[in-house]
Amino acid sequence: MAKRGKKILAARQKVDRTTRYTLDQAVSLVTESAFAGFNESVDLAVNLGVNPAHADQMVRGTVALPHGTGKEVRVLVFAKGDKANEAQAAGADFVGAEDLVEKITGGWLDFDSAVATPDMMGLVGRLGRVLGPRGLMPNPKTNTVTFEVGNAVKELKAGRVEFRVEKAGIVHVPVGRKSFSPEQIRENVEAVMDSLQKAKPSSAKGTYIKAVALSTTMGPGVKIDPVEFTATAK
């Protein structure tokens, strides 16, 4: 543990917590300060000036990361007939209907994303209490309830991720891995920030992008100057 403590301390010393860095500086610091012996995830946290308690200020959507997340995504599809065949051809890991509902009801949850055709939602709705809290429930707003199951599967496999503001007004989104190049991480971050700007509720007043930070799984958080993204949006 002492050795690990020294690594954490050394990583934190590389980052000035009182400074708001540019995106390029933050990406460099995050990758340089990563010290774990595995390929850490790089995560983006954005504090938005919204109140999620109000339905008209909920920020939710999806974004196709140009370089994916670096993680293999296991996609489950609720479909029958031709649509089930389409999902399988697109690379879905699990395809079914009643059999999958029964399996999930029994406690099985070994998948990362779920897609359903609209005609299957009467069946899938039974799983709301199980899938909802885990962010796995298919939803038309995230294009996971669709007859275009082939396209949905391909996009999820390629790195399309969902974002949703939490109660505290913060959005967390994975934007790559430690092994990614700085350019790949930067472009993924820019894609997320662009999507968040487009998802800004019309009822949101005052500063929308309040704070932005980048970090790896084990490394320190690096603050990014939000003005950089506000200026880009304008």
Residue 30 sits in a domain whose CATH number is: 3.30.190.20
pTM confidence score: 0.79
> What does the alpha-carbon distance between residue 220 and residue 45 come to, in Å, rounded to a whole number?
13
Residue (of 192, 140, 136) closest to 163 by Cα position: 192
| Inside any domain, residue 11 | no
> Within its chain, how far is the Cα of 206 from the centroid?
25
pLDDT at 135: 87
3-class secondary structure, 211: strand
The radius of gyration of the chain from alpha carbons, rounded to an integer in Å, stands at: 19
64 with 166, same domain?
yes
48 pLDDT more than 80: yes
Q: Tell me how far CA of residue 163 lies from CA of 54, 66, 87, 153, in angstroms.
A: 17, 16, 23, 17
Q: Dihedral through CA 21, CA 22, CA 27, CA 31, nearest 10?
A: -30
Predicted pLDDT at 232: 53
Instruction: Please indicate, yes or no, whether residues 28 and 90 belong to a single structural domain of this protein.
Output: no
Of 130, 158, 186, which residue is a domain's last?
A: 158
Based on the domain organization, do 173 and 138 belong to the same domain?
A: no
DSSP 178: T
Return d(Cα 115, Cα 120) in angstroms, integer: 10
3-state secondary structure of 199: coil
pLDDT above 90 covers a percentage of the chain that reads 73
Q: What per-residue confidence (pLDDT) applies to 186?
A: 96
Please provide the average confidence, as pLDDT, over all residues in the chain: 91
* Rounded alpha-carbon distances, angstroms, from residue 186 to 24, 42, 83, 109, 134: 7, 11, 36, 32, 28
In this structure, are residues 171 and 209 in contact, taking their beta carbons and an 8 Å threshold? no
- Report d(CA 76, CA 158) in Å as an integer: 15
Structural domains of the chain, count:
2
Cα–Cα distance, 3 to 51 (Å, whole number): 42
Using CA atoms, how far apart are residues 24 and 18, in angstroms rounded to an integer? 17
pLDDT tier for residue 234 given thresholds of 50, 70 and 90: very low
The predicted-structure confidence for 8-43, as pLDDT tens digits, reads as follows: 777 777 787 889 999 999 999 998 888 888 999 999
- Would you state the structure tokens that stand for residue 216, as one six-digit string? 């790896």
Same domain membership, residue 86 and residue 142: yes
Q: pLDDT, tens digit, for every residue of 49-59?
A: 999 999 899 99
pLDDT-based confidence at residue 207 (cuts at 50, 70, 90) = very high
Closest CA to 77 of 21, 138, 15: 138
How many C-beta atoms surround the C-beta of residue 230 within 10 A?
14
154 and 79 in a common domain: yes
Q: Which of 136, 158, 180 is the last residue of a domain?
A: 158
pLDDT confidence band for 78 (50 / 70 / 90): very high
36/10 Cα distance (integer angstroms):
12
Written as six digits, the tokens of 22 are: 């540019």
pLDDT level of residue 4 (50, 70, 90 thresholds): low
- Banded pLDDT at 7 (limits 50, 70, 90): confident
- Residue 61 sits in the same domain as residue 164: yes
